Amino acid sequence: MALSPQTIAELAEHLETCQLEVRDTPKITNDHPDMDWDDAYAIQDVILQRKLARGARVVGLKAGLTSHAKMKQMGVTDPVFGFLVDEYVVSEGATVNTAELIHPKVEPEIAFVLKHALKGPGCHIGAVLAATDFVMPGIEVIDSRYRDFKFDLKSVVADNTSAARFVVGGQAIRPDQVDLRTVGVVLEKNGQPVALGAGAAVLGHPAAAIAMLANHLGRRGQEIPAGSLILSGGVTEAVVVNAGDNVTLRVQGMGSVSLCFA
Ligand code: OOG
Ligand code: MG
């Protein structure tokens, strides 16, 4: 690791304060160009510890930057992983207050819920499908704390991969009831389709994102616990939303899920 524990704690406090006070910041690698991957995940961990100390509950995990559309949009090359806590949860059809967010965007995602734990290394899509209880549509609302969403991979990892809000809904189905590669995904804003894709946009198969997460955690001696909900990553590029927008995600054979912004 290149950063001292004190610097890691300060950067975590800085990024979390930006989230809570709804203000942006230049990416942290500007001032800390030597920051390494372990530092980045350590900053993310300190943000989680700060939330847990205030009574937050972990409700799941997320993979991000798992599709070429997202990697191209953000100018990066590798997936990243983050945590989901109860303060991010929005119920189906609810209204998200944009005054609590800096510059939100929405992403169409496939959410996995596990019946068994998954542990890497060596986790593959077969193991993921065997451990999956059901899959369902999810909309992730991302809100990078970095000015104009301009970041590099380490900065975005430290910022808990821009996590801000998410909703899951529609119809939960068993993973053997759907071909997750060919399943069609339509994201609508105010009744107009604004982003379209198929599941294979996510690393060839959305379950590959879950396997990658298990392998990432395995390297750190951790696993994905049974019962976890995991967002597998945006199928398409993210779409800007503003107060007054209504967003609906339709996933073939899995119904739809909606959010409003006020
Ligand atoms: C990083 C988070 C990306 C996804 O699904 O690709 C993400 C960002 O683009 O701000 O959640
Ligand atoms: Mg996402």
User: Which tokens belong to 43?
Assistant: 């900053």
Question: What residues form DSSP beta bridges with 110?
Answer: 137
User: Which tokens belong to 196?
Assistant: 């379209």
Work out the angle at residue 180's Cα, subtended by the Cα atoms of residues 198 and 95, and round it to the nearest 5 degrees. 70
* Centroid of chain to Cα 233: 6
Ligand 1, closest atom to CA 65? Answer: 6
Residue 41 in domain: no
In sequence order, which residues have a C-beta less than 8 Å from that of residue 153 and are 6 or more positions away?
40, 65, 76, 77, 78, 80
Q: Under a CB-based contact definition with an 8 Å cutoff, are residues 106 and 247 in contact?
A: yes
Residue 29 in domain: no
Residue 173 maps to which CATH number? 3.90.850.10
**Percentage of residues of the chain with pLDDT beyond 90:** 100
pLDDT, position 211: 98
Q: Under a CB-based contact definition with an 8 Å cutoff, are residues 43 and 8 in contact?
A: yes
pLDDT, position 249: 98
234 lines ligand 1 (CB under 6 A): yes
Query: 193 by DSSP, 3-state: which?
Result: strand
Q: Under a CB-based contact definition with an 8 Å cutoff, are residues 236 and 200 in contact?
A: no
Residue 42 in domain: no
pLDDT, position 197: 98
pTM higher than 0.90: yes
Count of domains in the chain?
1
206 lines ligand 1 (CB under 6 A): no
| pLDDT tens digits along 122-152 | 999 999 999 999 999 999 999 999 999 999 9
156 lines ligand 1 (CB under 6 A): yes
Domain limits for position 192: 57-261
